[in-house]
Chains A and B, each alone.
Chain A
Amino acid sequence: MRCARLLFATLTIVAVLVPARVGAQCGSNASSCVSCHEGQQAAPVLSDGRPWHADHGFGDLCVACHGGDPAAASKDGAHGTMHPPLGDVAGSCGGCHAEDAEERATRYRVQVATSAVAATAAPPSSMPPPPSTGAAPSASTPADRVLLAVIGLLTALLVLVVVRDRHMLVRLRPGTWLRAKTWNAYVAGAGLGLTVAASEALFGRPLAASGAFDKLGAYLGRALFPTSPYYRYIMRPEIGWQVWLMLGVLAGAFTSAKLAGVARRRWLPDTGWTERFGTRRSVRLLVAFLGAVLVQFGADVAGGCTSGLAISGGAVLSPAAFTFMAGMFASGIPTAWLWYGFREKR
């Protein structure tokens, strides 16, 4: 219980430290345009059916056409310098579509012509209210009734399970919590769940790991590939929230390991590794490097990693999270079988 109290205290401290921030800086990787319009659902456009928005939803590209300040923290600051979309085709589209910018723009122009004025001249009060994704619909839908039936069945099943297997209920023993080498996976998982909830409810941000490396990599990317549209328009280098979050992870893991007496410099993972790959340091470094390249690349394609997409996205029941997890295991299980086999070596 001591640990639960510590966790609660830490969360309370974090909560007290929350300054009354408003407006735009709520997203994760995203510009303030995406953070507010999509993340906070202030006026989502991704699914508004306009072809340009649908075609470019993969990137954070609002600024290219609409102008404005994607780093501004307030709505007025962000919207102050907006201009009608497609006014300057060469400047807006030429970065990615140098060859046929004008031709592409013509296709979109028809659709945006009517909305261009409204987008720039809309007074703040005319913003549509956020759609009530969290609120319950007033009447129960067919899906509700199906769900209720399934929930009833599963409740009965769970009661049976608990009655039959009471001994499997997790018993939590207080003791030397902070110095323990490991915790029960459910307890640590619940701790992570509360951390994710704090991050999302208090700060509106997913507990994301991979974004930090996109931001750090962007320093190199801008220097090495100055013409890349991705580094020119989408990914801005930044030492911000996500990088600090990762430094916190470093400190948290170190502190936990130090208290448990297992923090120590070493080059090789445990015997699970050496039984298969031997004790050569260069082999480990090479595989560690290649594995990390794939991990980060995959996370970027998917839109997040195990923490930022699978857990943080799963916590809001996003289909993206479950699709990602399905892909992760669909490829990971055969890969592990190829490398390591399923059986333990004796």
Chain B
Amino acid sequence: MMQIIEPLGLGFLFGWMLHKAGLTHHSRIVGVYRLRDMTVIQFMLTALVVAAFVLQGATDLGVSRPLPIPATFLVANLVGGMVFGVGMATAGYCTGTVVAQAGEGRLDAWVGGLSGLIVGALAFGLLQPHIMPALTRTGALGRATLASLTGARPWLVLILFGQIVVLVLYALARRRSACVAPSLGHEAKPAP
């Protein structure tokens, strides 16, 4: 039972934040790739930095479970990211926001999006044995972090990373102060 309530609760907050950030809007997701609406970057980088500081703090206090560090396969990460970017910039959603858009009542996400995700998973399942060995052969760094790779203290890497993110967000907000709260686009009228 707990295995249901916990993920449901976390997912609820996840979906809530996605919606409140306006990421259920096609124009907002595509807008980041059109270099017009930086909300996605503001949202993602803020989430990343907040989580990173909380997690490092929790780890040092000894109150955190061992963190799930993803395995790095530089080639696969890059190639996968590029395929992902094409899909995201075309359709205007990523995996989580398909679900959030469905929750908001968008039927294109229910019908086209969710079925597309399943078909994409099946396509990967069929191709996995043929493509993944090649994609993971070079650039495999294991479960590395920037701190473990550089040999620096995690806190120093984290503080530097936080500073860079703040500067990037500052530069974005300054250059596009007109776009700090960009329009979400107007609701489309359905075809007659």
Contacts and interface: CB of A to CB of B under 8 A. Distances in A.
Interface string A266-281: 1111111110000111
Interface stretch (A77-85, A86-94, A111-119, A249-257): A249-257
A38 B29 CA distance: 34
Nearest to B63: A201
Nearest to B59: A134
B190 A335 contact: no
Interface residues of A, number: 179
The interface centre, meaning the residue of A242, A256, A288, A342 with most chain B CB atoms within 10 A of its CB, is A288
Nearest to A252: B15
Given A197-B58, A209-B96, A298-B87, A147 B157 contact: yes
Interface residues of B, number: 157
Contact of A296 (B44, B92, B120, B159): B120
Contact of A294 (B4, B11, B84): B84
Contact of A254 (B14, B104, B145): B104
A311 B126 CA distance: 27
Interface string A205-249: 111011001101110110011001111001100001110111111
B33 A301 contact: no
Given A209-B95, A249-B103, A300-B124, A286 B112 contact: yes
Interface in A167-188: 168, 180-183, 185-188
Nearest to B142: A47
A89 B170 CA distance: 58
B69 A318 contact: yes
18 contacts: A38-B143, A54-B140, A151-B156, A182-B22, A192-B51, A200-B68, A206-B70, A213-B121, A218-B121, A269-B106, A270-B188, A279-B188, A288-B112, A297-B123, A313-B69, A318-B144, A323-B78, A333-B89
Given A96-B129, A249-B15, A317-B145, A213 B117 contact: yes
Contacts, number: 674
A71 interface: no
Given A253-B16, A293-B117, 18 more contacts: A28-B68, A38-B143, A46-B143, A58-B132, A209-B99, A213-B121, A245-B10, A249-B100, A266-B188, A269-B25, A289-B113, A293-B116, A307-B14, A307-B95, A319-B77, A327-B78, A339-B30, A342-B35
A121 interface: no
Interface stretch (A7-15, A62-70, A101-109): A7-15
B84 A134 contact: no
B96 A190 contact: no
Interface in B1-52: 2-22, 24-27, 30-36, 39, 42-52
Contact of B11 (A246, A305, A309): A246
Interface in B46-84: 46-52, 54-56, 58-60, 63-74, 76-84
A115 B78 CA distance: 34
B91 A295 contact: yes
A327 B160 CA distance: 23
A311 B106 CA distance: 25
Nearest to B191: A279
A193 B145 CA distance: 18
Interface in A25-47: 26-28, 38-41, 44, 46-47
Given A270-B186, A270-B188, A274-B188, A315 B48 contact: yes
B84 A336 contact: no
Nearest to A142: B151
